[in-house]
Amino acid sequence: MTKPNSPETLLIRGGRLIDPENRRDGEFDLLVAEGKVARVGKALTAPAGAQVIDAKGLIVAPGLVDIHVHLREPGNEGAETIESGTRAAAAGGVTSVVAMPNTQPPIDSVSGVRFLLRRAAETATVRVWPTGAITVGRSGEKLAEIGAMAEAGAVAVTDDGNAVPDTQLLRRALDYAKMFDLTVIEHAEDKSLMGEGVMNEGPLATRLGHKGIPRQSESIAIARDIALAELTGAHLHVTHISTRESVELIRAAKRRGVRVTSDATPHHFTLTEDAILRYGTNAKMNPPLRTEADRKAIINGLADGTIDAIASDHAPHTRASKEQEFSAAPFGIIGLETILPLTVTQLIEPGHLSWPDAIRRLCSGPAKVLSLPVGELSEGQPADVVVIDPAEERTVSGFSSKSQNSPFLGWTLRGFPQLVLVEGRVVLRREALRAAPAR
């Protein structure tokens, strides 16, 4: 880790501690020692030499787990590196990032997984969990060495950026990954139906003269993938769902007992395609921003648990690559530093999700999708913690990420992290949160 500061002994006192996995929501003190959650309880006394942090009026929660992040290293270090991307994560309250394997070269082998883990050990501020590609070169033609990558530390397999186009091959991938208890993450998209589309198909695309991506390019792929999960009994995770039909398909599949989970991004529950008129290429993403009915369906899916996790799909791109004609610019926006305040202002404050439900979608929900041993504050567990000021209002004016491609620049949001710990080490501490005198 960049800052080799040793784990401290910290007593975080008087905050509203929310830890859905341990059914805690109330005023609890949290004692962190030797990098672990030492105790959670009422009116704890600070051991000698402990720093005491007054968290009155603040929320104390497990550090966020973002299971869909592009760190761009190796191959596109101008846009982001493991170092800068995990610094952005820490700034956003995210203590675990799951790195997508669509780097250059793609992570489709043991050496790729090892490279990522080694670079993370050298440069990362937060935990980095690697994933491996499903197919060699992400080309959708031949299975990658899934077992060996799992052995090396990959926590899931995905060809993100692409769906696996060949139905037989995806069936094999699911069957095979099941042997290693690995989740298969699908970026669900029927490429032939998507064609050269650059935004949601509909009246707005017609007006702007842009090629459209029909919503069915996603729901057709999800319907197929669910059928295969049903066939194989493997764990399918559908990432960044964007349409009403997708939510309905997953809801129905879960009801039938299919092993399927899903996540959605803050931009899909915050924006609609109209954002393109204001933010141009910073509103160009894949899957594209959809309509108001879709946005509402995503929120409902998050509220009723159909959607297990909120993930940022943090996709950094340099300014030059986004400052192009809309059709030429790459898809994607950064999201690590806005995932929390967007959840607060778009989901919690309007009353769509309670604080505990929101924390579940940001922490233990995503951790469970990939069976990661994080996302809760059980005693004896590594202390990955975020302390949030739910009332702090800030105008978003710049990011720790190397890239600044966000439509949320200039937005006034609430609910920013004040203190972030990874294994008990302080990786973010805002000025407002000074240590209180020990008592």
Partner 1 sequence: MAVPPGGENRVKDLLGLESLTPAQIEHILDVARPMKSLFTRSIKKVPALRGKTVALLFFEASTRTRSSFELAAKRLSADTLSFASSTSSVTKGESLLDTAKTYEAMKVDFMVIRHAASGAPELVAQAVKARVINAGDGSHEHPTQGLLDIYTILEKKKRIDGLKVVIVGDILHSRVARSNLWGLTKLGAHVTVCGPSTLIPAGLSEVFGPKVSVSTRLDEALEGADVINVLRLQRERQQGDYFPTVREYTELFGLNTDRLRKAKPDCLVLHPGPMNRGVEISSEVADGPRSMILEQVTNGIAVRMAVLYVFANPEGLPATPPDGKQAAKAVTALKALE
The residue among 112, 105, 87 whose CA lies nearest residue 97 is: 87
H-assigned helices in 180-259: 191-194, 203-208, 216-232, 244-256
User: 7 or 366: whose CB is closer to Zn ion?
Assistant: 366
Tokens found for residue 227: 């059928």
Q: Least Å distance between CB 202 and partner 1?
A: 5
Q: Least Å distance between CB 328 and partner 1?
A: 6
Residue of the chain from 187, 251, 290, 360 that contacts Zn ion (CB under 5 A) = 187
Q: Is 72 in the site for Zn ion (CB under 5 A)?
A: no
Q: Is 159 in the site for partner 1 (CB under 8 A)?
A: no
Buried b / exposed e over 13-41, threshold 16 CB at 10 Å, is bbbbbbbbbbebbeebbbbbbebbbbbbe
Inter-axis angle of helices 292-304 and 244-256, to 10 degrees?
Answer: 30
- For partner 1, how many residues bind (rule: CB under 8 A)? 21
Q: Least Å distance between CB 282 and partner 1?
A: 13
Residue of the chain from 4, 26, 49, 209 that contacts partner 1 (CB under 8 A) = 209
Q: Least Å distance between CB 288 and partner 1?
A: 13
State which H helix or E strand residue 169 sits in.
helix 167-179
User: Residues 238, 260: contact at Cβ < 8 Å?
Assistant: yes
- The CA distances from residue 390 to 58, 293, 294, 333, 337, in Å, are 7, 28, 27, 24, 15
Residue of the chain from 148, 171, 326, 330 that contacts partner 1 (CB under 8 A) = 326
Q: Is 189 in the site for Zn ion (CB under 5 A)?
A: no
Residue of the chain from 108, 160, 294, 357 that contacts Zn ion (CB under 5 A) = 160
Residue of the chain from 74, 147, 153, 280 that contacts partner 1 (CB under 8 A) = 280
Q: Least Å distance between CB 320 and partner 1?
A: 7
The residue among 179, 292, 309, 313 whose CA lies nearest residue 243 is: 292
Q: Is 323 in the site for partner 1 (CB under 8 A)?
A: yes
Q: Which of 313, 357, 384, 389 is catalytic?
A: 313
Q: What DSSP state is assigned to residue 63?
A: P
Active site residue 313: yes
CA atoms of 340 and 144, how far apart (whole Å): 34
CA atoms of 111 and 124, how far apart (whole Å): 18
Residue of the chain from 26, 325, 395, 431 that contacts partner 1 (CB under 8 A) = 325
Q: Residues interacting with Zn ion, by CB under 5 A?
A: 160, 187, 313
Q: Residues interacting with partner 1, by CB under 8 A?
A: 201-212, 214, 280, 320, 323-328
Active-site annotation, residues: 313
